[in-house]
Amino acid sequence: MSKPKQVTIVEVAAAAGVSIATVSNVLNRGGIRSSKETIRKVELAAEQLGYRRNTMAAGLSRSKTYEIGLILPGLTNYYGELAEHLQIEAHNAGYHLSVFSSGGFDPDIERRNLEVLLQRRVDGLICHGLAMGFESTRSIVNSGTPLVLINGWNWPEDIALGAVNLGFAEACKQSTKLLVERGCKALCYVGSKGSKVIDEQRRKGFNAGIRQYASDVIHEIVDAKDLDMEAFLSSLLQRHAMPVGMIAFDDHVALRLLSAANKLRIAIPSQLQIIGINNDYIAKQSYPGISSWDIPYSYQAQSAINKLLHKFGNKAESGEEREIEVPLTFIERESTKSYKTE
Amino acid sequence: MSKPKQVTIVEVAAAAGVSIATVSNVLNRGGIRSSKETIRKVELAAEQLGYRRNTMAAGLSRSKTYEIGLILPGLTNYYGELAEHLQIEAHNAGYHLSVFSSGGFDPDIERRNLEVLLQRRVDGLICHGLAMGFESTRSIVNSGTPLVLINGWNWPEDIALGAVNLGFAEACKQSTKLLVERGCKALCYVGSKGSKVIDEQRRKGFNAGIRQYASDVIHEIVDAKDLDMEAFLSSLLQRHAMPVGMIAFDDHVALRLLSAANKLRIAIPSQLQIIGINNDYIAKQSYPGISSWDIPYSYQAQSAINKLLHKFGNKAESGEEREIEVPLTFIERESTKSYKTE
DNA sequence: CTGTTAGCGCCTTCAG
DNA sequence: CTGAAGGCGCTAACAG
């Protein structure tokens, strides 16, 4: 119950009556070039002594850690889900994923996290839409550690290997189209400026959609932060012809809108229609259900990990495009579609 | 942009014109016992060469990693939040937190994760209500790595240093009392058997509450999994006198109940009252708001980390009780209280 | 104050 | 097929 010495290959070697080289070979290379008999002896000894390979020593020795660093703005909701998938993919590829949260989009914490990861000599990095600037990032990562971005648009090639981006812009664009088709007379995007780039993409898509599908429709853009949903909604419905279509930054914002609407007895979807993003648990379980864009987590995670593996030279697979655009899929629910029953 | 050699203290030493020992001393011990001048020279050289300490080498050398392993059933919602707080606390104490998800309560993945962490020679472990049995855990952790549990009740002393547990039982017990006081004529706990121990604690508290505060009140226990909320609710309200009080496993389950109730036009709280647990974003933002029990994340995280630090002999602080019970605080909202306005 | 010298535990040629 | 030996980068006595 104390933590003195763990057993090492030296002891295993002694117990098995072979050299440490042989032990190393048997235990970490499937015993290629070792007799059946030797293998058995070594494995037995290792088992009995409770040998456990020391990752640090191994890593130091071969200067390869089989560790991938991940930096996210947080660990809840979307981020947590993504982290889980990345972890699974990393594991399947024989890598360990070290997860870090920067507590929001704080450049300082980000830098600190990066530093720690690099000190650990991770083989690669996956970061979510870094808040740090190009220069700042470059000066830190130029050490040669491959970096793949998640939701990072237009990063210079000398900094990042590439990026795997969710098609937020396209989703928002299609959302405007859809809302117009559903008869909306006015459109509104409720964003979240605090989320930097990913909010930017949504705005971009929203604006593009307006231009292409609803140039004559009244529209506006507001920020969810500190927004009094009830006051906002009632004012909105007074000012515009109904139904009004809203695109929310994510399902959380959508829920706030929905709740305010319910409270004000605003009819959904006849007076107000809402589309969220993420297809969270919330979207499915709220009443009425919120139409939302589903995220292909596994695919996104795989793409990111594969980009890294490709660079490592392990798996084949082509690394083709630098920026991979991952499309979201629309899940329609009652917030935009008349109830089936009733 | 390749990943050949990183600069080492040897090179820094050469550049600064001192020995590697001095470099090591300056760079990793605040330069105690080194002249101002030497310190400056070394720091300068290190800076210019872009030196970055190799964690593995350092860890290997002093057989201390300053790394703490964390194993959770997942990374979303409560778990993600907890992970973030633990990470912050760990960092403040100078430790790195390695987060792992076992994808639910899967004993096999858990074991694998534990194994990886031990191979990394983490200084300590924090695990959430392990799904593995005592024996299984003991055989893996007996290596001497201190283990602290989160929501782990009655674990043998020779396996775990202690535990930091949320007061789910008490919360559920108090919930029954409260619902009775609010006039509920029947009570129901909607649990989630898949969540093992934490569901168990809730049941225990619910039953205790029934015995003590509502022995004469009709009550039942059901499982949220695969439950048709609408059918269940309407049947429930037909069978029992209203209002019926419900205690949900967590706010997610509470939201499902609430949505079903809204759909069936069941009046809240006059016909149905709901209490959730976790005080998620959902509870605050749904309509009507869901009364819920708030979790003191920071406190919980601090307690867990402190237990470990205490064992490490770093910080003073007393390690007094083995099992710390962290009380939840009730946040009342409209799901149990008549609306203020209207 | 600063330099020398052993390791830490494992991997990896290179001989036998 | 197996053993011997030299690192990997850093730390920690122990001398100067």
Q: Which residues of A239-253 are buried (b: 16+ CB within 10 A; e: fewer)?
A: ebebbbbbbbbbbbb
Q: Is the dihedral of CA A313, A314, A316, A321 positive or negative?
A: negative
Q: Is the pLDDT of residue B317 over 60?
A: no
- Dihedral (Cα; A129, A133, A134, A139), 10-degree rounding: -110
Q: CA angle, corner B284, sides to B281 and B288, nearest 5?
A: 135
Same domain, residue pair A202 and A161: no
Confidence of residue B272 (pLDDT cuts 50, 70, 90): very high
Distance A117 CA to C9 C1' (A): 22
Q: Could you report the per-residue pLDDT of B15-61, keeping only the tens digit for each?
A: 999 999 999 989 888 777 788 888 998 999 999 999 999 999 999 99
Question: Which CATH number does the domain housing residue A155 bear?
Answer: 3.40.50.2300
Confidence of residue A340 (pLDDT cuts 50, 70, 90): very low
Same domain, residue pair B284 and B316: no
Q: Is residue A72 part of a domain?
A: yes
Nearest to A254 by CA among A267, A245, A264: A245
Same domain, residue pair B36 and B113: no
**Under an 8 A CB cutoff, do B96 and A116 touch?**
yes
Of chain B, the percentage scoring pLDDT greater than 90 comes to 72
Same domain, residue pair A72 and A114: yes
pLDDT of the residue at A1:
35
Q: Is residue A335 part of a domain?
A: no
Same domain, residue pair A40 and A84: no
What lies within 8 Å, CB to CB, of A47 at 6+ separation is none
**Under an 8 A CB cutoff, do B83 and A75 touch?**
yes
Cα A334 from Cα A288, distance rounded (Å)? 6
Window A37-56, strand C contacts by Cβ < 7 Å? 51, 53-54
Which A residues, 171 through 190, put their C-beta within 8 Å of a C-beta on chain B?
A: none
Domain count of the fold of chain A: 3
Same domain, residue pair A177 and A224: yes
CB A259 within 8 A of CB A187: no
Same domain, residue pair A129 and A208: no
CB A176 within 8 A of CB A247: yes
Q: Is residue A80 part of a domain?
A: yes
pLDDT of the residue at B216:
86
Q: Is the pLDDT of residue A321 over 50?
A: yes
Cα A79 from Cα A61, distance rounded (Å)? 34
What number is the average pLDDT over the span B204-230? 93
Q: Is the dihedral of CA B223, B224, B230, B234 positive or negative?
A: positive
B144 Cβ under 8 Å from any chain A Cβ: yes
What lies within 8 Å, CB to CB, of A218 at 6+ separation is A185, A186, A187, A240
Extract the runs of DSSP E, i.e. beta strands, from A171-254.
186-191, 218-223, 244-248
Q: Could you report the per-residue pLDDT of B293-314, keeping only the tens digit for each?
A: 999 999 999 999 999 999 888 5
CA distance A257 to chain B (A): 9
**Under an 8 A CB cutoff, do B1 and A119 touch?**
no
Compare CB distances from B120 to A55, A60, A81 and report the shortest one's residue: A55
Q: Is residue B334 part of a domain?
A: no
Gyration radius of chain B over CA positions: 26
- Dihedral (Cα; B75, B79, B83, B85), 10-degree rounding: 140
Q: Tell me which protein residue sits closest to nucleotide D7, measuring alpha carbon to C1'.
A: A61
Dihedral pair phi/psi, residue A67, rounded to 5°: -125, 135
Q: Which residue, among B56, B250, B252, would best test binding to A if mutated, counting the most A CBs under 10 Å from its CB?
A: B56
Q: CA angle, corner B187, sides to B184 and B190, nearest 5?
A: 135
Q: Could you report the per-residue pLDDT of B63-100, keeping only the tens digit for each?
A: 999 999 999 999 998 999 999 999 999 999 999 999 99
**Under an 8 A CB cutoff, do B252 and A144 touch?**
no
Same domain, residue pair A202 and A280: yes
Residue of chain B with shortest Cα separation from A78: B76
Confidence of residue B282 (pLDDT cuts 50, 70, 90): very high
Q: Tell me which protein residue sits closest to nucleotide C7, measuring alpha carbon to C1'.
A: B61
pLDDT of the residue at A319:
55
CA distance A164 to chain B (A): 20
Per-chain mean pLDDT for chain B: 90
Q: Tell me which protein residue sits closest to nucleotide D6, measuring alpha carbon to C1'.
A: A61
pLDDT of the residue at A2:
35
Cα B134 from Cα A320, distance rounded (Å)? 49
Nearest to B176 by CA among B140, B215, B150: B215
Contacts of B121 in chain A (CB under 8 A): 6, 54-56
Cα B223 from Cα A52, distance rounded (Å)? 41
B37 touches strand C (CB under 7 A): yes
Distance A37 CA to D10 C1' (A): 38
Same domain, residue pair A91 and A230: no
What number is the average pLDDT over the span A231-253? 92
pLDDT of the residue at A315:
53
Same domain, residue pair A29 and A95: no
Q: Is residue A114 part of a domain?
A: yes
Q: Is the pLDDT of residue A163 over 90?
A: yes
pLDDT of the residue at A130:
75
Structural element, H or E, at residue A174: helix A168-181
Q: Is residue B138 part of a domain?
A: yes
Q: Is residue A58 part of a domain?
A: no
Closest-lying nucleotide for B13 based on CA to C1': C3
CB B125 within 8 A of CB B311: no
Cα B10 from Cα B21, distance rounded (Å)? 9
Same domain, residue pair A307 and A256: no
Same domain, residue pair A13 and A73: no
B24 touches strand D (CB under 7 A): yes
Q: Is residue A206 part of a domain?
A: yes
Of chain A, the percentage scoring pLDDT greater than 70 comes to 96
**Under an 8 A CB cutoff, do B76 and A77 touch?**
yes
Which two structure tokens, joined as six digits, stand for B275?
């209490």
Q: Could you report the per-residue pLDDT of B184-207, keeping only the tens digit for each?
A: 999 999 999 988 889 999 999 999
A67-72 and A124-128: which strand pairing? parallel
Lowest mean pLDDT among A24-38, B48-62, B172-186, B232-246: A24-38
**Under an 8 A CB cutoff, do A88 and B103 touch?**
yes
Q: Which domain holds residue B207?
A: 168-295
Q: Which of A276, A295, A314 is the last residue of a domain?
A: A295
pLDDT of the residue at A144:
83
Q: Is the dihedral of CA A80, A81, A84, A89 positive or negative?
A: negative
